Amino acid sequence: MIKPKVAIQDSLRISRLSLALATLVAALITVQPAHALFFGYNQQAEAYKQQGEAAQEAQNYDMAINYFTSAINCCPYDAAQNLADLYYVRAIATDATGQYDRATRDWQASHDNFQKCVDQAQYNPGTNVAYDKEYADDLQRMINWRSTENPNTPNYMECGPMKRFATPGSVRVYVDTTEQSGFSYDLRYLIFQAMYQWCSFSGSPIRMEQWSTPEGAHIIVQRANAPGQIGFGAGGQTNNQDSVNAAGQDIMTKSFVRLTSPSYNSNNMSQVDKNKLYNLALHETGHALGIGGHSPSGLDAMYFKAPVLKLSDRDKATMRMMYQ
């Protein structure tokens, strides 16, 4: 009995909020061209934000937090759209340092500002209410969830649903190498390196073998090459196909992974681009192997915006337990 599963959509590291700020600036330019002074804080905040994002990409999170703080301090208290965006990016950077409670306060501040945008939309003609409302609602759910979570437990099994392959000791992995929907051999190698982290720690239940065709493979990895394959603003997506066995257990039969990449090969990719792809492959492989939810801790590869390039002890312990 094969049933389609809910897709796991990831908003990894590709921020649609940058778009929001750009849109806002554009809207201000068109709507209120006379208010030249009003641009002052916007430009300064944007400059700090960009420096923060550069620091974030270089994995210098403390510096990123400082820049985002400077950006926040440039904004008047009623610049809700900018503040929603800035608290959001600072929350991610803060989670990446493991300061869970401090990050939660930023998630809350981001939520409150998105909600303010919704509430005051009638006075602000440029507001994209649907967008702000989606963020406010998403963040409220996340804040509620975080309040029930402890990021320091030995594993995050409770963040399920967790599923499993019947034969974790021989998981066949096919990475598409066609130019249309796959990766060049050098990028395929990079993806395999990330995937193998899930096999190579002490006590890992997973063994993978490279498979040369999609037929017979358990995990199929392809490049996202068309709109709609991946949730808006996300970097990767994994769909699991599974069936219920005679004992009534939910067993995965195949996982389909889509990863975004700036190109088919690495010729024009910076180290930051490569790290992003590596990080995506590491994270999506966790889903492909059966981790159905996300860790609340920014130190884990399965955090929803995981910036990490290495599995944490909690990632490893969770995988061990899933296949016990």
Cβ-based nearer residue to Zn ion, 10 or 95: 10
Q: How far is the CB of 179 from Zn ion (least distance, A)?
A: 27
Give me 16's structure tokens. 């649609």
Q: How far is the CB of 119 from Zn ion (least distance, A)?
A: 31
Measure the CA–CA gap between 111 and 117, rounded to whole angstroms.
Answer: 10
Residue with tokens 């990767």, as numbered in its chain: 236
Provide the binding-site residues for Zn ion, judged by CB under 5 A.
10
For residue 65, the minimal CB distance to Zn ion (Å) is: 23
Q: Measured between alpha carbons, how far is 182 from 216 in angstroms, rounded to an integer?
A: 18
Select from 117, 127, 311, 306 the least CA-distant residue to 202: 311
CA-atom Rg of the chain in angstroms? 21
| CB-nearer residue toward Zn ion: 115 or 155 | 155
In the complex with Zn ion, the residue whose CB is nearer, 10 or 300, is 10
Return the number of the residue (10 or 85) whose C-beta is nearest Zn ion.
10
Nearer to Zn ion, 10 or 132 (CB): 10
Closest to Zn ion by CB, 72 vs 302, is: 302
Residue 250: CB minimum distance to Zn ion, A: 19
Residue 317: CB minimum distance to Zn ion, A? 18
Per-residue tokens: 266: 């690495």
Nearest to 239 by CA among 324, 323, 159, 163: 163
Least CB distance to Zn ion at residue 121 (A): 31
Q: What is the rounded distance in angstroms from the CA atom of residue 192 to the CA atom of residue 178?
A: 16
- DSSP string of 25-81, one letter each residue: HHHHHHH-TT-GGGHHHHHHHHHHHHHHHHHHHTT-HHHHHHHHHHHHHHS-TT-HH
- The secondary structure element, H or E, covering residue 186 is helix 185-196
Residue closer to Zn ion (CB basis): 79 or 230: 230
C-alpha span between 37 and 275 (Å, rounded) = 39
CB of 237 to Zn ion, least distance (A): 8
